[in-house]
A and B are shown apart, each in its own frame.
Chain A
Amino acid sequence: MTLFTEFGRYLLMIKGMFSKPENMKMYWKELMHQCNEIGIGSLGIVVIISAFMGAVSALQTAYQLVSPVIPMSTVAQIVRDTVILEFAPTLVCIVLAGVVGSKIASELGNMRVSEQIDALEIMGINTKAYLVLPKILAAVIVIPLLVVVSAALGIYGGQLASTTAGILSPQQYETGLLQYFQPYNVFFALVKAYTFAFLISSIPAYYGYHVEGGALEIGRSSTKAVVVSCVSILGADYVLAALLLH
């Protein structure tokens, strides 16, 4: 199948998601379930990687800042901007592409192979709307929140590491955090978070929904979904940076 055919099928899946719900209560329940699965289910890994990401970037920045003319509080400023601009939205979303993406692809793939999707279709349910849309909506709602949590934890991790190592005092770190702060960076990080959230939910949903075959194909589609999601995140990251950062 060519890239264009796949992209066309992907767009058709997205278009097919929009129809009048058969029962709004059931759709709402499914959305809440997915928010819980994606949000709470990924919180642990997000907390761990964010804290370490901030800590390591603080230590490595301090190691490289050898010039006596640059104040050490600059470490906090660099950690802040690196975490907000890149680490929290991009790195966390790449990890989530693995965690959430493979889960979505394998869940839908298993439902397809075991004819559960066909069973829903026969009942008269729009399966794209009932199975795919809540997953994408949940990701778009929850992942930006996770990115905000990740940014906060990353900055805090940086403070903890730099004060524990005796590089900076907590006051110096706070001074550095407030230096040259641009709120636009937070806006940029959130734009990235929303974009990546859409990609890491819709791409695996596409691969899972269109699985043909058996267990082996579910595994393959899950791997492919994660790889394509990660590459898409990197591509989108570059495009957004080129468009929004001047």
Chain B
Amino acid sequence: MIEVKNIKKGFGERTVLNGVSVTMQAGKCNLIIGASGSGKTVFMKCMVGLLIPDEGEICYNDKDFNKLNTEEKKEIRQQIGMLFQGSALFDSLTVEQNVMFPLNMFTKDTYAKKLKRVNEVLERVKLKDVNKKFPAELSGGMKKRVGIARAIVLNPKYLFVDEPNSGLDPQTSLVIDKLVKEITTEYDITTVVNTHDMNSVMEIGDHIIFMYQGKKEWEGSNKEIIFNKNERLNEFIFASDFLKDAKDMRMLEQTGKINEDRDMDKLIKGK
């Protein structure tokens, strides 16, 4: 379990995280959402130990990560897999070598055993005949899938995913979202996803944390988010008329009425 206790982080005069506390639900997809500049990436970087918070604690199984010694930190890091926004594949290595890299570094298995495991995870992310290709020869979606394969090859307990859908078309985004969700359930991983894609929120968000100006503004599930009463969250998720209409439709279906400030006649005519 990952528990974040009142973390603060600033850069010079600028405070980016201002006292965020949250518990990531074990074995679930935890989504951090928020507008650009709300502190999502810094929050994730603090959680994985790439940045050290100025104050507060990040606890993995009740142990404060930043108080551990180097060896203990390494142990926890080997339980973490991460998919980066740009996939962060090693350019000079083939897909097979990229996925095999953590195995080469941290196991003493034979080459045949490692290759078997690499093929297993590549198959799991639905990639075939790409073993000998270099990252430059792959599409954005394929790179993300190789990134996921590399992240899960050591059977991690925690999976961090930063902006999984950036630069992808809606259909491929959906494939990646489903893959993240399936892997979370199948491997019983605690997954933390950083996103501002509302489709991901609705598809895979078991537990959603909305960040606003460096603070946790709202927390709940994808079922609760639609009818939430938080003004800032509603401004963020229903930014377009299309999404506002979609919300009204859902509300109409479920309750038979829509919000007082919305025009029901207009909505029905539009329908």
What B residues does A6 contact at CB under 8 A? Answer: none
Residue B202 at the A interface, CB < 8 A? no
What A residues does B49 contact at CB under 8 A? Answer: 121-122
A22 & B84 in contact (Cβ 8 Å cutoff):
no
Partner of A119, one of B70, B75, B84, B104: B84
What B residues does A123 contact at CB under 8 A? Answer: 77-78, 101-102, 105-106
Interface residues of A in 1-47 (CB under 8 A from B): 19, 22-23, 26
Residue A115 at the B interface, CB < 8 A? yes
A23 & B104 in contact (Cβ 8 Å cutoff):
yes
Residue A174 at the B interface, CB < 8 A? no
Inter-chain contact total with CB atoms closer than 8 Å? 53
A123 to chain B: closest residue by CB: B102
B70 & A122 in contact (Cβ 8 Å cutoff):
no
Residue B85 at the A interface, CB < 8 A? yes
- Rounded to whole angstroms, the CA-CA distance of A32 and B76 in the bound complex is 30
Q: Number of residues in B with C-beta < 8 Å to the partner?
A: 26
Partner of A122, one of B50, B86, B90, B105: B50
Interface residues of B in 149-176 (CB under 8 A from A): 160
Contact mask B80-120 → A, CB, 8 Å, 1/0?
11101110111100000000011011100000000000000
Residue A124 at the B interface, CB < 8 A? yes
Residue A186 at the B interface, CB < 8 A? no
B105 & A22 in contact (Cβ 8 Å cutoff):
yes
Contact mask B51-92 → A, CB, 8 Å, 1/0?
000000000000000000010011111101110111011110
* Chain B CB within 10 A, most for which of A26, A110, A118: A118
Using A22-B106, A26-B104 as known contacts, say yes or no to A124 and B88 having CB atoms under 8 A apart. no
Residue B48 at the A interface, CB < 8 A? yes
Q: How large is the interface on A (under 10, 10 to 19, 20 to 34, 35 or more residues)?
A: 10 to 19
Residue A116 at the B interface, CB < 8 A? yes
- Rounded to whole angstroms, the CA-CA distance of A115 and B88 in the bound complex is 5
- Rounded to whole angstroms, the CA-CA distance of A141 and B160 in the bound complex is 40
Residue A114 at the B interface, CB < 8 A? yes
Could you tell me the distance in whole angstroms from the C-beta of A131 to the nearest C-beta in chain B? 11
Residue A167 at the B interface, CB < 8 A? no
- Rounded to whole angstroms, the CA-CA distance of A116 and B101 in the bound complex is 12
Could you tell me the distance in whole angstroms from the C-beta of B119 to the nearest C-beta in chain A? 20
- Rounded to whole angstroms, the CA-CA distance of A29 and B77 in the bound complex is 23
- Rounded to whole angstroms, the CA-CA distance of A125 and B70 in the bound complex is 10
B48 & A122 in contact (Cβ 8 Å cutoff):
yes
What B residues does A116 contact at CB under 8 A? Answer: 88-91
What B residues does A118 contact at CB under 8 A? Answer: 50, 84, 88
What A residues does B160 contact at CB under 8 A? Answer: 122
Contact mask A98-138 → B, CB, 8 Å, 1/0?
00000000000010001110110111110000000000000
Using A19-B70, A114-B86, A115-B85 as known contacts, say yes or no to A122 and B77 having CB atoms under 8 A apart. yes
- Rounded to whole angstroms, the CA-CA distance of A37 and B75 in the bound complex is 32
A124 & B73 in contact (Cβ 8 Å cutoff):
yes
- Rounded to whole angstroms, the CA-CA distance of A149 and B85 in the bound complex is 46
B77 to chain A: closest residue by CB: A124
B106 & A23 in contact (Cβ 8 Å cutoff):
yes
B150 to chain A: closest residue by CB: A119
A19 to chain B: closest residue by CB: B70
- Rounded to whole angstroms, the CA-CA distance of A121 and B88 in the bound complex is 12
A122 & B82 in contact (Cβ 8 Å cutoff):
yes
Could you tell me the distance in whole angstroms from the C-beta of B83 to the nearest C-beta in chain A? 9
- Rounded to whole angstroms, the CA-CA distance of A19 and B49 in the bound complex is 18
Given contacts A19-B70, A115-B86, A123-B106, 8 further A-B contacts (CB under 8 A): A22-B106, A115-B85, A116-B89, A116-B91, A119-B88, A122-B77, A123-B77, A124-B77
Which residues does B use to contact A, with CB under 8 Å?
48-50, 70, 73-78, 80-82, 84-86, 88-91, 101-102, 104-106, 160
Which residues does A use to contact B, with CB under 8 Å?
19, 22-23, 26, 110, 114-116, 118-119, 121-125
Q: List 15 A-B contacts (CB under 8 A).
A: A22-B74, A22-B106, A23-B106, A26-B104, A114-B88, A115-B85, A115-B86, A116-B89, A116-B90, A118-B84, A121-B77, A122-B49, A122-B77, A123-B102, A124-B73
